[in-house]
Structure 1
């Protein structure tokens, strides 16, 4: 009898201990999250965008975008001439100051991973060679840059408003305006010792989307606004459309002393130059000739 009671006590004790342990486990399991020990959060290896977020801050990205846009679009002859300073200048001095330099793409490797596609930029094949690779002008001017310096005395573009940059994650929106100028041979109007050089100016609106790599360099360049080759000279194919595009834009007849000597023999279109002050239906501004044009002029200045 005593042996049976002893076994009963042991069994009861074991059952009681099991109940206590089970109760404790249930209490721990149901304990509020705020009272449990904090666990480290899991780290995801996936990104929301296929392009990694740049490690640079927005201001650094904006600075890169501005430098890229300036080097991408500022090139050639500066079109922002002070007309009051150059009027009546000796023709050789004027031409020396405005001659387009050899177009060479700047080193932008610190700003972008982009490179001109085959045929783009001044080192691309000239339009003359694309039309007829056996022609004499192709043999003489094989690259677009060399060819264009034979078609025009001066070509160039500069930012005149902007670039204005808005950063959104790994992209930048760039807006503003650029101004371009073109001078070609062909002017023949003159009065006494002064001859006309009649450039054309064109202002274009820029609206670009830039994409950045993780290290903050530009990997995508998408123009939504104007994209003529003369406003995007490194990443477009040069052609012979500039003269026709600009011929009826802003034109000013600049009086220079002596007959201009350019020694250019264009093989493509040349802007029409005024033969008289009444020519080109009032497109040309003759205000710089006030006080110069005498009885030999065909009509009064506009």
Structure 2
């Protein structure tokens, strides 16, 4: 073999070997790059910062919020603890003409029931232009024209327990009052009988707290007299007064007041207790008994004293 041919063969073999080497290098480099790419991507995903969660409300703040919520959800209307000593103090006990939700909305996102204080009254069914609908456009307006006095107050602040799941349990007692009108009330010269019904309810509630407000609650006392902000206002107040409620007959100085109600004649309301046998009434009856004189020793006029018949009836409680 001559020298030139040998050199040509060596050159060809060298080129072939070089080509194979380059191909193998490219293959290994491609595999390495392919394997490295997910690692880079995974590292990038792990490095992406997560959204900072909203800090949970402290146990102390949750308990304080629960207390504010219970007052805002339940305190409303007439005050069961207020003393009615004359017709002026009675006027302060009137059912409000609107339900103020300001305090409640500051501590809660819970929405009212489908039938709430501002819902159309039953008088508006089918004809919103009816005369009765205009007189009683809302549920509150309807009940207000049939009941002079409705309301509730917490009996002190509730006991609160912050649970492990972040909910808050509240327990406590609620005092309530209801009084419809003066029909059948006891009357004597210079006095009339005020006899509302009062009662107490124990409640246990579980509150869900998110974002610094109560977003849900489960309550053992959902009736609207006890929970006006969330209760169903279609329920008759009379059905919410327990049979063991207390009713006393308190003499109030002054003439029998004109309450200005426009009641539904077909609606049953609570009856008054015309019992005049209590000591307060006995003392008053003694002043206006037949033959009694006034503080100056003068004979009382007929409109300032009782007849023999009325005196015997009232003293006997008949």
| TM-score, normalised by the number of residues in structure 2 | 0.67
| Alignment-derived partner of residue 4 in structure 1 | none
Does structure 1 retain, via aligned residues, the 8 Å contact 2:276–2:315?
A: yes
- Residues 33-89 of structure 1: CA distance to partner in whole angstroms, max 9, x if unpaired? xxxxxxxxxxxx9xxxxxx8861110001111110111000011111023xxx44x2
**Aligned pair partner of 1:104 in 79, 100, 103:** 100
Q: In the aligned structure 2, how far is the partner of 1:58 from the partner of 1:202?
A: 32
Per residue, is there more helix in 1 or in 2?
Answer: 2
| Alignment-derived partner of residue 135 in structure 2 | 140
Structure showing greater radius of gyration is: 2
Q: 1:206 to 1:127 in 2, by over 3 A?
A: farther
Does structure 2 retain, via aligned residues, the 8 Å contact 1:112–1:218?
A: yes
Q: 1:266 to 1:56 in 2, by over 3 A?
A: same
| Alignment-derived partner of residue 80 in structure 2 | 79
Does structure 2 retain, via aligned residues, the 8 Å contact 1:184–1:271?
A: yes
| Alignment-derived partner of residue 200 in structure 2 | 203
Equivalent residue pairs, number: 240
| Alignment-derived partner of residue 249 in structure 2 | 253
**Offset of 1:239 from its aligned partner?**
3.0
Does structure 2 retain, via aligned residues, the 8 Å contact 1:112–1:217?
A: yes
Higher RCO structure, 1 or 2 (CA under 8 Å, sep 6+): 1
SS of the residue aligned with 2:101?
coil
Task: Name whichever of 246-255 and 55-64 sits farther off.
Answer: 246-255
Q: 1:118 to 1:240 in 2, by over 3 A?
A: closer
Does structure 2 retain, via aligned residues, the 8 Å contact 1:212–1:220?
A: yes
Q: 1:209 to 1:240 in 2, by over 3 A?
A: closer
Equivalent residues in 2 for 1:22-171 (5 A)? Answer: 55-82=56-83, 86-87=84-85, 89=86, 91=87, 93-102=88-97, 103-120=99-116, 122-129=117-124, 136-168=131-163, 169-171=165-167
**Offset of 1:172 from its aligned partner?**
0.6
Q: In the aligned structure 2, how far is the partner of 1:157 from the partner of 1:131?
A: 33
| TM-score, normalised by the number of residues in structure 1 | 0.70
| Alignment-derived partner of residue 225 in structure 2 | 230
**Offset of 1:246 from its aligned partner?**
2.6
Equivalent residues in 2 for 1:1-20 (5 A)? Answer: none
Does structure 1 retain, via aligned residues, the 8 Å contact 2:199–2:242?
A: no
Q: 1:247 to 1:255 in 2, by over 3 A?
A: farther
Does structure 2 retain, via aligned residues, the 8 Å contact 1:244–1:269?
A: no
Equivalent residues in 2 for 1:290-301 (5 A)? Answer: 290-294=282-286, 295=289, 296=311, 297-299=313-315
Q: Which residues of structure 1 form unaligned runs of 5+?
A: 1-44, 46-51, 279-285
| Alignment-derived partner of residue 194 in structure 1 | 191
Q: Which residues of structure 2 form unaligned runs of 5+?
A: 1-49, 290-310
Cα RMSD over matched residues?
Answer: 3.0
Q: In the aligned structure 2, how far is the partner of 1:241 from the partner of 1:212?
A: 31
